[in-house]
Structure 1
Amino acid sequence: MIIITQLQWTEAELRKLGNRELTFDREAEMMPEIADRFEDISDASTYHVQGTIKADGVGWLATVRATGEVTAHSTRSLAPVRVAQDFTFKELWIPQEQWGSEPVERLMDTHQALTIPMAHDMIDIYGAVSDHIVLELPAQILTDDEKQKGVMPAGEDWHVISEEEYAAQKKADAKPNPELAKLKDLLTKQEDEEKQDDDSDKK
């Protein structure tokens, strides 16, 4: 077993390992690189990144776990929210010259892993972690107050409602209003009577 502290390896370095498994365990600073790539994230802690890389057929299979925190924006008010993360992913890295070949296609069919061509003949776990930090963000991000009180942003002559409130409002609007129906009938009758009177006057 070989333990190292970096998060990028060239194809030449990996080939020297043969069938030996490479193990890594590192504290990685994710700023400012992640903020430069993803405008929805304004800050990030140091991430603990650990895992293994092992030769697998014509490529290398990386299994990675990352833990840390990022500051993203509330999907309701855009207020900053600290989001804790702990995720694991697998990626199968394939040399560029092998990409699209029949052996690669067979290898892709047998792995439950994202398959990636090796840009610049390199495995970049650091870049992969920054990608997954964004992919792992929840679809809905709320502050503690927004979670507890259901607080919605509002301004002059406008306010935001939840999806549940919108659905209920839409359902209520679709229901027939008996009083409105009576008024409509009354107006129709009045229009008919006025039309009859006009016809009589013309005669």
Structure 2
Amino acid sequence: MKWSLWELKKHQETPLVFSETIDLKRELMERDNQILDVAPIKVEGLLTVSASDYVVHYTVNTVLTVPSSRSLVPVALPMDLTVDEIFMTPEQFQHRSEMISDEDVLILETQTLDLLESVMDNILLAIPLQVLSEEEQRSDELPKGEDWEVLSEEEYLRQKELTEPTIDPRLAKLSELLENPSEDDEK
């Protein structure tokens, strides 16, 4: 999934269609130590070449195994991504249309277009922050152990309200003194 820009010039008339199964397990596990396993990655798409840019549209299908964010149990996470990216050489970038923002363009630093980096980046970006096993999704019970437990935010706020300190009525008059400074203190 690496093409030289010279080779891609042959495809200015018709888009380059590609379909490959790649193995990026080692590279993805090096970039994110939370990933436990990666199934072979199926990438299908097309690359359109023009004088102003290289537009790539592709889909990614794979299954990642990552730990549950609640219990660290391994969870299979199917991924089915659709990606659209615009690549430009530095010269093309200087002459780009104002309709294309800087953030939408990936600048080619060499004379090759390597799609593997794009595939890895998009897989890593698609990993959700909260991953739960099927059992954890069905259950409302949060993990707990000896002298500790995980609380939802609502439960935490409810417990905080119940345990707010109350002022002893015998000392209430003293707190009023602290809140209302006397006239002697102001002088």
Q: TM-score range by the shorter chain?
A: 0.7 to 0.9
The size of the alignment, in residue pairs, is 175
Tell me by how many angstroms 1:168 deviates.
3.8
Matched, 1:104 2:96: yes
Larger Rg: 1
Which has a greater percent of helix?
1
- For residues 77-128 of structure 1, the C-alpha deviation after alignment (integer angstroms, 9 at most, x for no partner) is 22211101111010000113433x1x2252514x9x8310113222222221
In the aligned structure 2, how far is the partner of 1:80 from the partner of 1:158? 23
TM-score normalized by the length of structure 2: 0.80
Unaligned runs of 5+ in 2: 175-187
Matches within 5 A, 1:34-183: 34-99=28-93, 101=94, 103-106=95-98, 108-109=100-101, 114-170=104-160, 172-173=161-162, 180-181=166-167
Unaligned runs of 5+ in 1: 1-6, 191-203
User: Which structure carries more relative contact order (alpha carbon 8 Å, separation 6+)?
Assistant: 2
Which residue does 2:185 correspond to in 1? none
Cα 1:155–1:105, aligned 2, differ >3 Å: closer, same or farther?
farther
Percent identity at matched positions? 28
Regions of 4+ moved over 6 Å: none
Cα 1:89–1:160, aligned 2, differ >3 Å: closer, same or farther?
same
Q: CA RMSD in A?
A: 2.7
Which residue does 2:177 correspond to in 1? none
Specify the code of the residue in structure 2 equivalent to 1:185: P
TM-score normalized by the length of structure 1: 0.74
Matched, 1:185 2:179: no
Tell me by how many angstroms 1:167 deviates.
4.2
